[in-house]
Structure 1
């Protein structure tokens, strides 16, 4: 008797085999198969993240992972997958609000220094000091002098962190203009996600070229050997999530890594180290 409902399958392996046999006959089965394979791979990678976190904790490492990108590029959703099964005692997510009156008059990096990882800790930055490299100059939130001062200081700031033993991993989530617009419309049409649409988002499409200019300036002037920019093709959210986790895992020789049967070679179509092109592209 042919099964019609997912609940009728006794094991995930039985469901997987059934979906493989029927994926060409029904788009529903194909979508369910893709979802199943994604969730299965994600769980394997997340189990390795737990091993990585344990190693960071026992070895006293300091790891900061920076998530940057255009609005609606999938940073927040990716961070949720990173943190989902991690121990909150040695992991933090930093997503700062706009600076206070006191912070406005401090050295720009002050508010971020206090959020840096302690020994044995991993910190995920949902946007970072690189606000001043892209969003602030485009939106007029900083002066030209403040922007130039930041661009001069940031490489030295990160080099001092590097010399002090802090790993700085910089991920840029890249989406096309068309995909960004589609995600904006999806947010506006979903009452549960409408809060994500901000005044800055509203300018994302209108000021696309201005953002592109400052993004390329940021890459050119802040990409270096000790804290390179890694560009994540985020038009497909699931692929971006899996490959960015895979990339982080590939950087460290943590306990249990070599015993894992999961492939930690990143997809070069999704994860690319920034390099300067003769003709710059829109990231």
Structure 2
């Protein structure tokens, strides 16, 4: 049985020391995303424009809801929604620009930021990023290091209440004006691998404690030369879009489905010999 397992999964590991410095373990990237793609305080000018173009409040509300509803299987936008998107694209507001215009700024999403028990300006810790879930706010050590004081300790873990503490503002739902939740993703420091297969829901007035445990494994060059399917572990030299990476794999599967169904690609994506960007009125 042991030999058979070795033949199927030939992994050789040599433990040279029982001590591994925390300095060598990078803190992961933490990304916070809204469930709502539209930040209502940013809609005032857009609403005024659409009213001038003859759309009523119900049609405009359906338009704002479409940014989130489009994620639902079987969703079909109302004719008025298609018309609004087509109109806005004609006057210089394609979907990508709309998402950027109507997003919630990180300053309105992240309320307080603490690193190793010391408060910091959140703009020095979180930066806006564009993901498959829309515009989000991300903390990562490379960005934080560029803005933090020179004496800042970037080591993750080992007391000082470990590392990152944040307070996140909720956002009101467009449907019923109730306070919604945010989504938290945990990536490796290079945004290549999701350390969690799904997001963590951050509900209003709730406390969450997320602990990431790591194991340091030092492998020989012969193990590193094995294919990902054989060694069954991810190395720094692996490409992020490989099938062994959960987020990269899921993104590729989603895009393949989109191309097959719609014959177009979401903006900011390339490949599949498709040059047409998806939009609401196609």
Structure with higher Rg: it is 2
Task: Establish whether TM, by shorter chain, passes 0.5.
Answer: no
Give TM-score, length-normalised by structure 1. Answer: 0.23
Give TM-score, length-normalised by structure 2. Answer: 0.23
More helix by share: 1
